[in-house]
Amino acid sequence: MKVIRLIFILILIVAFQLNSSAQYVPQSVFNKPLYDFMDDLANLHIITLNDAIKPYSRKQIAEALQAAESQKEKLNTTQQKQLAFYLKDFNKELSTTKGFKKRLDLFYFKDSLFNITVNPVGGFSYFKNENDNMYRQYAGGEFWATLGKGLSIFGSYRDYTDSRAVADDKYLNDLPGYNYKYKGAVGSPKRGGSFDETRGGIAYAWKWGHIGIVKDNLEWGSNNHGANIISTKAPSFARLELKLNPKKWFEFNYFHGWLYSEIKDDSAAYFSGNPPNHRQVYFSKYFAANMFTVKPFKQFDFSFGNSIVYSDQLEVAMFIPFMFFKSLDHSKTGQGSNYSGQNSQLFFNISSHNIKYTHLYISLFVDEIAFGRIWDKDEHSNFYSLKAGTAVMLPFYTSATIVAEYTRTNPVTYRHFVNTTTYESNRFNMGHYLRDNAQEIYLGARCTPISGLYISAGYTTAAVGPIYPYTGKDKSGLGLPFLKTKEYEFTSLDLNIKYELFNDIFLSAGVKIDDNKGALANVYTAPFYYGKNGKTTTLFGGFNIGF
């Protein structure tokens, strides 16, 4: 509690010291049509975009749309209509009055001091294949508000139900993970679950940065099909967040997060007042990370940073944003056992929009590399995940984009021999959804033939190898071969059609064809998508309000 009080005091000090003229409200990373439109504007050289760090703020998006409005002759007719459509929402950040064509909101109020928007959140989707049928539904609400020139507050609540538990931590799919409260018999293929989540935060922003306490999903690493540095696979967690962007050529991002270990601390358990039942206590788990982004020339970003997952005691030094966390850990543990240290990582990202209509990117997550034995096939410790891809807008039809992406994650990457310092929260890996010893090839296409209609198709082929023992002792984890055997392979072909009736109100439909095979296919695949022989063709349709 003392740390939380200090954080609030720090935010108040910053608020009083800075002459602010901005607000920070994050825009959900799950609004893919909007994020794709931002990528399109970058590919057209209308805006510059640091796509290695998401979510974007509403202010950042509004300024990008404003830049597009001033150059809308570079947009085709459909894109101009999309731009006008999005400005119905984001003009709230740009206009000092209510004198603009505004989107439909449940409640909206704005004056010179206070600006608030309140909307419902909900959705229903129905899925059917030759094996089974299921539904997914959620309901809740969200709000965001700004007070004065720099203070913002935002929050949301969602209650989910899956009639079949398809987003469990043991399944290797790219769905956001849910920490289910299960419904149905253990082991039943028809077992479902519910999950409720609240997101929100309070932040103070100024012209070149913001600081705040936030609980929301985030994504680090350029990608079109699942980030490999920090992804949306794990449920959201609370964090202290800092962003500095003092110059166009430099940006800095940092956070300190509170993760959910779900590892019981039996020594801290106690009688709950109704013997013999005990209060269950879990080990504390924390996550600190930073990312420096430099822009040596226009449309080119080079990002680098590091992180640490640590447990047991909150470390005040981890709140120093610019630290090299691995060195900090060494200064504490010295020459002690590996089991006394923490779990640190490095990462790098290159994103280039230098070639018009083309986005090139590469993202590298380094868990461990020993350069002295990097080429030694028997003793190397090349624990890394590499993602490389491109998204090319068709010059003759700029409403369509083709995507190609490759991801390779070596054995042991993301793992750790101390169970309280794994790269996980709520048991979900925070990196790539396939975890370690895996590779993926993704080919996709998306287009917007008319404003509001989003069509996307994708082909994914992936393979996952065995989980090797990793104890941190006696050369465990060294020299492990990549995909020596393939325990799980799958191909997936999907077609998705969305139509945005009003801002954030979608109708959707599509088809997904899956082929899962291998010794562990029925372990890594949700029963709904496995079927009788690993092959399913699933049709789905639904609607959603918000994300």
Domains in the chain, number: 1
Please tell me the predicted confidence (pLDDT) of residue 137. Answer: 98
For 486-507, what is each residue's pLDDT tens digit? 999 999 999 999 999 999 999 9
3-state secondary structure of 517: strand
Residue 481 is assigned to a structural domain of this protein: yes
Residue 271 is assigned to a structural domain of this protein: no
For 429-451, what is each residue's pLDDT tens digit? 999 999 999 999 999 999 999 99
Q: How many CB atoms lie within 10 A of CB 450?
A: 12
Please tell me the predicted confidence (pLDDT) of residue 210. Answer: 98
Residue 279 is assigned to a structural domain of this protein: no
Which DSSP letter does residue 471 get? Answer: -
Residue 273 is assigned to a structural domain of this protein: no
- Report in angstroms the alpha-carbon separations of 52 from 147, 190, 289: 29, 38, 14
pLDDT, averaged across the chain:
94
Q: Which of 180-184, 331-335, 412-416, 532-536 has the lowest mean pLDDT?
A: 331-335
**Phi, psi (degrees; rounded to nearest 5) at 137:** -140, 150
For 198-235, what is each residue's pLDDT tens digit? 999 999 999 999 999 999 999 999 999 999 999 999 99
Residue with tokens 């790098």: 348
CATH number at residue 534: 2.40.160.130
For 10-37, what is each residue's pLDDT tens digit? 555 555 555 556 899 999 999 999 999 9
pLDDT for 139 beyond 70: yes
Residue 147 is assigned to a structural domain of this protein: yes
Q: Which of 7-16, 364-373, 425-434, 467-476 has the lowest mean pLDDT?
A: 7-16
Q: What's the angle, vertex CA 449, arms to CA 503 and CA 135, rounded to 5?
A: 55
Helix (H), strand (E), coil (C) string for 303-326: EEEEEEEEECCCCHHHHCCCCCHH
Residue 272 is assigned to a structural domain of this protein: no
Residue 540 is assigned to a structural domain of this protein: yes
Characterize 382-396 residue by residue with b for buried, 16 or more Cβ atoms within 10 angstroms of its Cβ, and e for exposed: bbbbbbbbbbbbeee
Please tell me the predicted confidence (pLDDT) of residue 1. Answer: 52
| Nearest alpha-carbon partner for 411 in 386, 433, 381 | 381
Percent of residues, the chain, with pLDDT higher than 70: 95
For 266-324, what is each residue's pLDDT tens digit? 888 888 877 667 888 999 999 999 999 999 999 999 999 999 999 999 999 999 999 99
pLDDT for 2 beyond 80: no
- Report, as an integer, the average pLDDT of 177-187: 91
Structural domain for 372, as ranges:
2-266+285-545
The better pLDDT of the pair 531, 308 is held by 308
Residue 278 is assigned to a structural domain of this protein: no
- Report, as an integer, the average pLDDT of 162-174: 96
Q: Which of 4-13, 26-35, 130-139 has the lowest mean pLDDT?
A: 4-13
Where does the pLDDT of residue 114 fall: very low under 50, low under 70, confident under 90, or very high at 90 and above? Answer: very high
pTM of the shown model: 0.94
Copy the structure tokens of residue 484: 């020596």
Please tell me the predicted confidence (pLDDT) of residue 278. Answer: 80
Where does the pLDDT of residue 95 fall: very low under 50, low under 70, confident under 90, or very high at 90 and above? Answer: confident
Sign of the CA dihedral with 103 first, then 104, 109, and 115 last: negative
